[in-house]
Structure 1
Amino acid sequence: MIKWFHLFCFALVLLRIESKSIKRKLPAYNENKEVESWTGKWFPFPPNTRTTVSPARKDAENDIISSSNSCDDKTLIGRDFNPNDIRHSYNYLCLANRTMFTPSLNRKALLHEEFIPPAYRPAMKCLNETIRYDDKIPTHGAFRLLPPKYGTYQFLPPQRWLRSVAEGAIVMLYHPCAYTKQVELLQKTVSSCMYRHIITPSLLLSPERPMALIAWGKSLQLSVVDENMVVNFIKENAKKGPMSNKDLNETFELYESGLLTEAHLVTDESDNEICGYKEM
């Protein structure tokens, strides 16, 4: 009996030694090595990236900007777009062959959707910082501090209208060479659906689909206006931005450089009923 007990104890010792040996042979997980080997995109920022928030931004969801704030004044307005500089007029003029933008009923609309984590909040940056986007037609990302006044613009850069998208607005883009009747039809539908909208020309669009609707995390690119499709997109995606609950009655300065026509109320400033005139 004692002999078997000694053998049992000896076996336990060998098993423990072998276990330690195996553990020593296992390669340690190297997080930095995994990060360095990753070749895809990071969202919203790569690991260990230091991000800064403008001192003028007191709260990500309640940023009342003083009109005297130098972070977003007119001294550096040309960084994104200067409506008073004729050299920037190419943003809203048709300089291409208009026949390339002929509408086609055979060209299907293109719906693009991106997954955005619910906790993600876009950064607000001053005019002394350059804002660039990874996507050709951005549906989220950093923007300037002053919110644009809702309505139709001669031209409004994405650094401005993404602020409106974050507030739950629908942004309508059209290429300057797009067919006028199609643009007017889309413009009429959007402006009749809700107060929170921005309409602006944009060179980001292709000749195949020279019109687009932008919502938070989504875009719909069109060759021909399908009113039912447009209304459905607006109803399903309006007021979805992280700042949608912002009180529009708060007093702060609005950006309105290049504004042609101010938006009119459809129901109220909160757009409690969206596209109410259109029963689907």
Structure 2
Amino acid sequence: MISVSDTRFVTFLFISVVIPFSTSSWLDELKRTDDNKWQGKWFPMPPNQKNDTNPIVSLEELHDDKHGIKMGVSSANCDNAQVNLEVDWLDDATNYTCYENKQSFLPNENVRALFSQDYIPKEYSAPHKCMTESINYSHYIPTFGAHRPLWAKYGEYEFVPKQRWLHNLEHGAIVMLYHPCANYQEVNYLKDIVTTCLYRHVITPYNLLTQERPLALVSWGRRLEMSMVDPKIVINFIKTFAKHGPERTHKDGQYGYKLLKASEPPLDVSDSIVCARFQDAEM
């Protein structure tokens, strides 16, 4: 229970046939195979099927005048949320495991929460980059910039890279970051608030946060860094800046690698009321 009054918060025929070598050669058997009687899988589709259910999309077909690459279109040529993931991050435990002294990350009530924002012109349109290109950012907690065409599924992750969750920010999501060494009670406290407030959230460890402020909330253009959780500040940030991305859609993403727990709508997937549980609370 969270108390607001608490001071802390790809046509190929793919055939698989098992043949006893004692009866015939495998080549003779294949020659006798009748396509019309084949009951196995076809790759990518049966000869009489008109539409390819798994088409290879060319980069020309993926072109988008606004972002360069269309969003939400899975393509092996660009981004299918499954291959070349190492371009964004190396799948090793250093991304989500504490290897430092946890005592250096303890909450400190004397360290004030730090709010900052980036100026983003209304005309700005973030480029979508294929997995053949690396993406780097000038700030250790980016709030806008180039990102991947496929965004992350909403929920909590063992780890999800910023090149994914930045796209979620563009859709109006709130991203919760915490250093792997951060105090687990404070981390869980913040998780409770975020998951209670809105469906459009992404939660992930992030080892670029500082010892002084190992917790953070990020929205499109804005960030809040904290040593400890103050429910009033956290809820006000979420209520004020959630759903404020330039592309406001609650459609779930396609990237789900390392997803631990899918998001469940506190009220509805459209987040018609953000932090509905706290609407009547004095903030």
Select the residue among 146, 155, 171 that pairs with 1:142.
146
Structure 1 segments of 4 or more deviating over 6 A? none
* SS of equivalent to 1:192: helix
In the superposition, the TM-score normalised over structure 1's length comes to: 0.74
Pairwise CA RMSD: 1.8
Q: Distance in 2 between matches of 1:109 and 1:141?
A: 24
User: Aligned pair count?
Assistant: 219
Counterpart for residue 265 of structure 2: 265
* SS of equivalent to 2:218: strand
Q: Distance in 1 between matches of 2:63 and 2:195?
A: 31
The answer to which structure has the higher helix fraction is 1
Counterpart for residue 70 of structure 1: 77
Does structure 2 retain, via aligned residues, the 8 Å contact 1:170–1:214?
A: yes
- Measured at CA, do residues 219 and 262 of structure 1 come closer, stay the same or move farther in structure 2, by a change above 3 Å? same
Q: Distance in 2 between matches of 1:247 and 1:112?
A: 25
Q: Distance in 2 between matches of 1:272 and 1:215?
A: 17
Q: Distance in 2 between matches of 1:215 and 1:89?
A: 26
- Measured at CA, do residues 247 and 230 of structure 1 come closer, stay the same or move farther in structure 2, by a change above 3 Å? closer
- Measured at CA, do residues 113 and 68 of structure 1 come closer, stay the same or move farther in structure 2, by a change above 3 Å? closer
Does structure 1 retain, via aligned residues, the 8 Å contact 2:73–2:150?
A: no
Does structure 2 retain, via aligned residues, the 8 Å contact 1:57–1:124?
A: no
Select the residue among 157, 180, 188 that pairs with 2:161.
157
* SS of equivalent to 2:203: strand
* SS of equivalent to 1:191: helix
- Structure 1 unaligned blocks of 5 or more: 1-53
In the superposition, the TM-score normalised over structure 2's length comes to: 0.73
- Structure 2 unaligned blocks of 5 or more: 1-58
Q: Decide which moves more: 142-151 or 68-77.
A: 68-77
1:123-168 alpha-carbon deviations (Å, 9 max, x no partner):
1100101100011110000111111100000001110100000000
1:116 aligns with 2:120: yes
Counterpart for residue 254 of structure 1: 254
* SS of equivalent to 1:268: coil
Higher gyration radius (CA): 1
* SS of equivalent to 1:221: strand
- Measured at CA, do residues 152 and 219 of structure 1 come closer, stay the same or move farther in structure 2, by a change above 3 Å? same
Q: Distance in 2 between matches of 1:141 and 1:113?
A: 14
Question: Could you tell me which amino acid in structure 2 is paired with residue 96 of structure 1?
Answer: E
- Measured at CA, do residues 228 and 57 of structure 1 come closer, stay the same or move farther in structure 2, by a change above 3 Å? farther
Q: Decide which moves more: 175-184 or 139-148.
A: 139-148
